[in-house]
Chains A and B, each alone.
Chain A
Amino acid sequence: MLRLRVPIAVFRGAALAAALALPACGGAEAAPGGPLRVLATTTLLASLASDVGRGRAEVSSLLPVGASPETYQPAPADMVRVHDAELIVENGAGLESWLAPMLRSGAARTPIVNCSDGLPIVAANPHLWLDPEYARQYVSAIRDGMIAADPAGAAAYRANAAALDARLRALTARIRAQIATIAPANRNMIVFHNAWLYYNRRFELRTLGAIVEVPGSEPSAAHLARLIDLARAARVRAIFAEPEYNAKLVNAVARSAGIPHVALLYDDSVGTSPQTRDYVAMLETDTATIVGALR
């Protein structure tokens, strides 16, 4: 998500053009009696939506596991899936800049749930989903969207959403208890990209810095030097990164600062293991990773 890929951008444009050249098939018609076809943009939204829609909706994720929502490029098959969806679930907050052109080419009437609508977005950072309290808002937004698209299922969606809401509340409490075991002086994180802003605000951790501050930009040597100084001064215990991104810069900073580099945080996408495959499990695993590294 950060490197210079200027020449490749040309091909990305071409891929989008090819995708848009598909014959417009108009708005999707609900198949009578069939499940509600819900398309979530990311794997994490799909995890929440499939819990809310359990028993009535067929939820899939547009992005595959491990793909960066910041650098995604649609293939024709993805266009077909957008056209066929009866409900689209997006994060909003600027995460899916590629979605609007896909919708304009024919699926303009498909209802869209913008999960972050109404939530306080800080510094244009879209990673609101990593705060489980905000995820509860996501769940109500998804529930309302599903009820509007499929009123006959209202009771089921309400019951599913209430059950998930209770799980998320319990999750918040468990994470809080876990983080409480870290001494306050050790609650400092340096991260690869600032996905953890909302999580850290909720659970009173501090993000001292991010290696990549703006997605797609290259950090300067002075910025890396500043992070190393910060890490030494605040005795930061670890630098955190995601398994799907190139770890070379993270490694360089961690090595210079003499602290471990933990490349196992899942944040933009769920993982493939049972411990990271859905939202609640993923956040529990991430919390264990953070607590293990900082305590």
Chain B
Amino acid sequence: MIEDLIAPFQYDFMQRAFIAALLVGGLCSTLGTYVVLRKLSFIGDGVAHASFAGIVIAYIRGWNFEFGAAVVAVLTALGIGYINRRGRVSLDTAIGVLFTGVFALGVFLMSRVRTSTVDLQDFLFGNILGVGPSDLWIDFGLAAIVAGAVAWNYRALLFTAFDPTVARASGLPVVFIDNMLLVLLALTIVISLESIGIILVAALLVTPAAAAAQVTRRFVPMLLTSTAIGIGSCVGGLYLSYYAGAASGATIVLVATAAFFVLLAVGRQRRRSGGVPVRS
């Protein structure tokens, strides 16, 4: 048993994968609480696709790929917030409009580049097994920034997440908080994407928080449960993928999905027996 737990660690690519799983898994599933409460579930996919345009532009202008992806991701995120406020559409619709538009811009520009010497889409999507030492430092820095920003604005984020209208009425800077959240999300998605790949980012921003919401409606327990499920899925999924000989990203997502269904059943059971008050 102990040997089974230690075996994967004899390879340093697995050590780095576990550290990345802890850092990025924790980060994404923490932000996931806001994502689920603010109904931003498709932001992961949306920003990931939009950042492809950033990579193409960076390639054409000879800039750094990561820089191009981050700039376009942040602009897209701010655009999503703007459309949501001014365009009288919900956040998910704003995401849908901008994500397809910006991604199409990337495909359009790419199709006009006739002599690419690299496969640009390939450079956009990392794999948790390919995490390098420099990726880990970047992930660590990002986690510190996000944790700091969340702790600093904790109360404002809490109110904005649950009820933006009331938050605005009580004088909180809702637009600033919204934009800050969107920018943090964009940076997290873009950096996580290059580190652990698209399927993991998209899932970790939604599934752990959705699972946590099955058993609690209170903010702090939900945040902690979501983070715990995110980290647990990442570590458990990595072990499982190692012994099952399967793709690690997909295995981690499946473990998180299984956790969601388990907590769905637990939540129903507890509501039936009157353990948790049902919010109507």
Contact = CB atoms under 8 A, between A and B. Distances in A.
Given A220-B245, A221-B242, A223-B245, A252 B119 contact: no
B273 interface: no
Contacts of B103: 11
B198 to A, nearest CB: 6
Given A218-B127, A224-B13, A249-B129, A2 B122 contact: yes
Given A4-B125, A244-B119, A253-B13, A221 B248 contact: yes
Nearest to B111: A75
Contacts of A15: 107, 111
A5 B118 contact: no
Interface residues of A, number: 40
A83 to B, nearest CB: 18
A71 interface: yes
Interface string A227-249: 01000000000000001111011
B115 A246 contact: no
Contact of B8 (A225, A255, A272): A225
Contact of B249 (A218, A228, A243): A218
A173 B115 CA distance: 33
Secondary structure of the B contact surface, majority rule: helix
A268 to B, nearest CB: 10
A1 B248 CA distance: 18
Contacts of B45: 7
Interface string B32-53: 0000000000000100010010
Contacts of B14: 221, 225
Given A219-B247, A248-B132, A252-B131, A224 B11 contact: yes
A222 B4 CA distance: 13
A137 interface: no
A218 B247 contact: yes
Interface string A197-222: 00000000000000000000111111
Nearest to A6: B199
Contacts of B17: 221
B197 interface: yes
Contacts of B124: 3
Interface of B: 8, 11-14, 16-17, 45, 49, 52, 103-104, 107, 111, 114-119, 121-127, 129-132, 197-199, 238, 241-250
Given A221-B17, A243-B117, 12 more contacts: A3-B127, A3-B198, A4-B199, A65-B115, A66-B116, A67-B119, A71-B121, A221-B129, A222-B241, A222-B244, A246-B122, A255-B12
Interface of A: 1-8, 11, 15, 64-68, 71, 75, 217-225, 228, 243-246, 248-249, 251-253, 255-256, 271-272
